Amino acid sequence: MKRGYLADYFVGVGTKRLSGTEVDPAISNGHEFQGTRILQAFLGPPSTRRSIPCTYMWLTDEEAPVRLDATATWYDSRANQPHRRPEPRLLYTAEAEPVVYQASEGDTLLVCLGRDARLTVLLCRAGSDIEQQLLWLFDLEPPTAQFSQRDIRETDQGALSFAARQILEAIEVEVPVADDHWLEALLKAFGPKFPGTAAFSSFARDLCPEVDPKGEPDSTLMAWLELEETLFFTLERHIIDERLRTGFVAASRTDVHGFIAFSLSVQNRRKSRAGYSLEHHLASIFEAHGLAFERGGRTEGNKKPDFLFPGAAAYRDDRFPDDGLTLLGAKSTCKDRWRQVLSEGARVRRKHLVTLEPGISRNQTDEMRAADLQLVVPAPIQTSYLSDQRAWLFSLQDFLALVRRRAA
């Protein structure tokens, strides 16, 4: 499976902390990102005033990106002063103000040049999850008041990982993972439609015989997830292609409602698939380890944690010791939803939550620790976390060892 490389999408990136002069109209209306001389490494010297297609994005951990497609201007402010050293400047247009002015002094700016010669200007809160994720993705040091840059053409970061593709998706860069090598097997098994999520996950596992769920649960989970993702988008592409060939016409009129309904069904299936996929594969690993557990067993207030060890019957049995119970939530991405797990079982003091989200900020993981929530992150994704965070994180192997000890 070809997963692509970061250099397939980007030429270079620069980052800095924003000043009030750059983003606060009460201080300046210059529409200028300052200290951009270093960006010549990948933008080239501004020998002429150049308008560059540019996508501006304001990114938060809670909401969808605020996005605008416009232009930016790269020019030499001293072009008419040949006796002086060139002074490159990058200007954003007035049209971009609704996006750029979301940011405040001290927030983070990333200026990225794509392989298509298009700029992407990313703005986000300092200390946010998305900031940590982007710095990890582009292998950048924490930003300062001065621009730093990385020429991605000169780095060898290897093929894009599962975590890297998630972050690229967050900034609306789609990395194709469909592979028609699998299409014949998919159509033979399911025809031109999706089966239930459990059947689809099981199909993916059957195509991964070389993994070791008992000896290497973390890498096994990731292998299953990656293959299922490839299978999903391969079948989805085929289904969408066939539907588009059919067209959206009813009684000689364009079927707008049919088109919208089909589009929504595609989006909804994508959203629900990831969470169910994670739960199905986790359950298979727990079964491989011979663990007693229940999915969706009920606790107080009719709450239904994703996984309860050894099960709801033991949880309801007052004679069963509290320290023999384990509660695990499973969320492919956390955001602020991790707090939902805290109320799902009063008898279990320390809750556990497994996630596939890369690079959650230190602020968030500190909150989790204070709330007695232990985060479980598959080992291959832990590289996107800071070193002090990694010392605290559980791998899936760590979690399995804990449950086995409690069951002994």
CATH number at residue 111: 2.40.330.10
Interior angle at CA 178, CA 173 and CA 183, nearest 5: 165
Residue of higher predicted confidence among 390 and 78: 390
Whether residues 19 and 152 share a domain: the answer is yes
d(CA 206, CA 280) in angstroms, rounded, equals 13
- Peptide bond before 310: cis, by omega within 30 degrees of 0? yes
Higher per-residue pLDDT: 335 or 63: 63
Q: Select the more confidently predicted residue: 12 or 336.
A: 12
The answer to whether residue 175 is domain-embedded is: no
Per-residue pLDDT, 1: 42
Is 110 inside a domain boundary? yes
- Mean pLDDT of the region 349-372: 97
State whether 130 and 21 are in the same domain.
yes
Is residue 206 one of the residues assigned to a domain?
yes
Q: What is the mean pLDDT of residues 93-102?
A: 96
What sign does the CA torsion over 392, 396, 397, 400 have? positive
- What are the phi and psi torsion angles at 299 (to 5°)? -120, -160
Using alpha carbons, select from 73, 106, 75, 70 the residue that is nearest to residue 88.
Answer: 75
Question: Does residue 86 surpass a pLDDT of 90?
Answer: no
Non-local (6+) Cβ contacts of 365 within 8 A are 375, 385, 389, 392
Predicted local confidence at residue 81, as pLDDT? 67
DSSP 152: G
pLDDT at position 143, please? 94
On the question of pLDDT at 198 being above 70, the answer is: yes
For residue 289, being part of any structural domain is answered with: no
In this structure, which amino acid lies at residue 98?
P
Residue 77 is classified by DSSP as T
Q: Within this chain, do residues 271 and 303 fall inside the same structural domain, yes or no?
A: no
The pLDDT score that the predictor gives to residue 3 is 55
Between 119 and 158, residue with greater pLDDT: 119
The boundaries of the domain holding residue 317 are: 294-407
Residue with tokens 């969808």: 64
Last residue in a domain, options 284, 304, 339:
284
Cβ pair 32, 89 in contact under 8 A: yes
Residues 248 and 330 in one domain: no
pLDDT tens per residue, range 284-324? 999 999 999 999 999 999 999 999 999 999 999 999 999 99
In terms of domains, do 27 and 116 share one? yes
277/79 Cα distance (integer angstroms): 57
Q: Are residues 200 and 253 in the same domain?
A: yes
pLDDT at 155 over 80: no
Residues 279 and 306 occupy one common structural domain: no
The DSSP letter of residue 351 is E
Reported as a single tens digit per residue, the pLDDT across 214-224 is 999 999 999 99
Q: Is residue 1 domain-resident? A: no
User: What is the share, in percent, of the chain residues with pLDDT greater than 90?
Assistant: 77
pLDDT reported for residue 245: 87
Q: Report the pLDDT averaged over residues 126-148.
A: 95
Q: How confident is the model at residue 397 (pLDDT cuts 50, 70, 90)?
A: very high
Residue 101 backbone dihedrals phi, psi, to 5 degrees: -75, 0
Tokens of 369: 């620790």
Specify the length of the chain in residues.
Answer: 408
Judge if 100 and 224 occupy the same domain.
Answer: no
221 and 162 together in one domain:
no
Condensed to tens digits (0 to 9), the pLDDT of residues 233-282 reads: 999 999 999 988 888 887 778 888 888 898 898 888 888 888 899 999 99
CATH of the domain at 346: 3.40.91.80
Q: Are residues 271 and 299 in the same domain?
A: no
**Mean pLDDT, rounded, for 207-214:** 94
How confident is residue 2, by pLDDT bands cut at 50, 70 and 90? very low
Structural domains counted in the chain: 3
* Same domain, residue pair 140 and 188: no
Lowest mean pLDDT, pick from 23-37, 82-96, 266-280, 381-395: 82-96
Q: Is the pLDDT of residue 156 over 80?
A: no
pLDDT at 79: 62
185 and 89, same domain (yes or no): no
386 C-beta neighbours (distance < 10 Å), count: 14
Q: Return d(Cα 203, Cα 106) in angstroms, integer.
A: 48
- Give mean pLDDT, residues 108-122: 96
- Specify the pLDDT at position 149: 92
